[in-house]
Structure 1
Amino acid sequence: MQTRDNGARVITNSDDYNPADQLADMADSLFVITPVSSDAQRDALLKFPGRTIRRLDKSGSLEYWDGDRWIPDLISTIWTNGANSVTTAGGGPGPLTLDAGNSQNPNFITSPGPGQLTVVLAGVYSFTWHASGLGGTSGYMSVKNGPASGTYVLTNYGPSGEQSVSVPNLYLAAGATVTFVMGPSSNVTIASTVRATKVG
């Protein structure tokens, strides 16, 4: 069989006559979105780069095969820590726990250490860190590159009980890590929610 430039596989004059298998092969290679209801149904499909499926078990979200793995179109995670002590020397949200019930495809964003998130895929990401329990302190909150080696964004805040810092559209290479860091004017114990979404 011959592969056309649109990815479709078609029968040629030199092929042996086997219409059932050949037509099935051709149908599988056409660019159509295939509905599936589980990982097992997805994994049983013939895989080729660009093949796209619709996950009926995940609110109709799409995934495509990149030649190595299935890549979802929706990657969004929420991470929390209900109580972490931060001193005037600086700190962050502390160890983060995934809110699996409110996350989509969380295996593509991981937390390798306290106050850190690592992305599996290259792309554009949005991050928001919200902290409460500031107790009327002032200070700053920031999102930094890797192990706090450079700052992507920093927000100074005045006396308040809660504060957020966001990065709406940050391009990261595959495997990049961001770190969330704050410096309060006095020691505090904060509750944190961190949202991370791949937006492009």
Structure 2
Amino acid sequence: MLEAVLSNTDPTGLQPVPREELPDLTKTDGLGQEARHAALDALSGGDQRAIVDAARLLSSGRGMAVPLLRKLKTEPRAVNRQAILYAISWQDDIRAWWPLLKVLADVDEAPAVRGQAAEGIGYLFWRKSRSKRGYLIAKDVLLWALNDPSPEVRYYAIFALGASRDHSVIAALQGMTKDSGRSNAIVGTVGEEARRAIAWIQD
């Protein structure tokens, strides 16, 4: 099943985007096209502060999913990939569904990157019908991710399952409530997030 996710044809049909000369992020303001494209360019840089700022700027607006997905296909560095996925997660664009699933299912990706992909899936669940293949595969991948060695991946897989509001995952989440896993990237423990997810589904 996971192999099928990793080999699934990307429905976006995206090709690597050519690099262009773009204005400096510090010389732009607001969410105009110039600012957005400058932030997109900054995501490929090596300045971690600039990468974080760019991801936050892009996450505050819509309409950048396609160029962000293109950049994800060509960017190999974990810090940059996590930032790109953070921005993608807030685009509310269903074209990100399969790319996010592929990242989560790929154990060669860094835990922070996979965790961000899981969070992004959670934000898109409301767009998917529970009877559709994409939804069912996502649920299976997230349930599989509950056994991941990384607390960060488990935590965000739980978050996404909670966001599904699917009562069929409650039993699996109940099995995670005593997970004491922690990391600097999550709030509280994995088990605490499981309890929050159950309450969210039952609300």
User: TM-score with structure 2 length normalisation?
Assistant: 0.28
Rg larger for: 1
Kindly indicate whether structure 1 or structure 2 has the higher relative contact order, using CA contacts under 8 Å at least 6 residues apart: 1
Structure holding more strand per residue: 1
Structure holding more helix per residue: 2
User: TM-score with structure 1 length normalisation?
Assistant: 0.29
